[in-house]
Amino acid sequence: MDLALPQIKNLSIREQSLDTLREAILSGELKPGQALKETDLARHLGVSRAPIREALRILNSEGLVETIPYHGTTVRRLTKTDIEEIYSLRILLETYAMEQVIEKCQGADLQRLRDIVDRMVSAGDAGDLIAVNALDRDFHDALIEMSGHQLLHSMWLMVAMKVRQVMALVNRRNTDLTLIARKHLPLLDAMEAGDSAEAKMILGRHIATAGDLIAEDWVEP
């Protein structure tokens, strides 16, 4: 039985609804402030309200939606302060993860990160913006994973979700394609050199500038 059949995943309606709604929020399809009426959602997805409600409770504790009793659930609004908090926490979590990675992977296992950056640079040169963004996410996700800190990872996922949402909502005029990719090179160098302080500095500034650019002209609806 070495047949490599694809795993059949029997996801519950709740999970499917959850994934669908979460993706819609993170992609900006569902905009902050928008009302999420259980009946409507159930009808649109062709299911009953029960699994929808459970999905909404999960989204609520993930901080993506807000529920007022007997009034309704809405996509959580994002203030300028929220943006600043998201990015400051992202810096905190990622620099910590990187510190751990540097300690553990003494110049060795960083090949995984190197591969991602290489592909990112290629994609940047080719002008493939989507690929650059995907690989950028991969890079930071790999960084967290490599720390081997599960709780840190779960916390980071929450922040990363909000980052995705913010990126989707802002009028992306980011443009500088190859620049973003190549910015990761000195970071990797510092990591391989085991220079934790320098690496933290670079990563911190890297994320902070990205956050500042977005927070700068953030307009709340």
Q: Which residues bind DNA (CB under 7 A)?
A: 10, 12-14, 35-39, 47-51, 53-54, 67, 69-73
Print the binding letters for residues 2-41 with a second copy: x by CB under 8 A, - otherwise: ----------x-x---------------------------
User: In this chain, which of 58, 129, 185, 201 binds a second copy, going by CB under 8 A?
Assistant: 58
Residue 66, interface with a second copy (CB under 8 A)?
A: no
Tell me the window of 60-68, 102-110, 178-186, 197-205 that interacts with a second copy (CB under 8 A). Answer: 60-68
Q: What does 73 bind: a second copy, DNA, none (CB cut-off 5 to 8 Å by kind)?
A: DNA
- Closer of 69 and 171 to a second copy (Cβ): 69
What is the b/e burial string over 191-220, where b = at least 16 CB atoms within 10 angstroms of the residue's CB?
A: bbeeebeebbebbbebbeebbeebbeebee
Tell me the window of 85-93, 124-132, 135-143, 207-215 that interacts with a second copy (CB under 8 A). Answer: 85-93
User: In this chain, which of 38, 54, 141, 192 binds a second copy, going by CB under 8 A?
Assistant: 54
Which positions lie near a second copy, rule CB under 8 A? 12, 14, 50, 53-54, 57-58, 60-63, 69, 81-82, 85-86, 88-89, 92-93, 96, 149-152, 154-155, 158-159
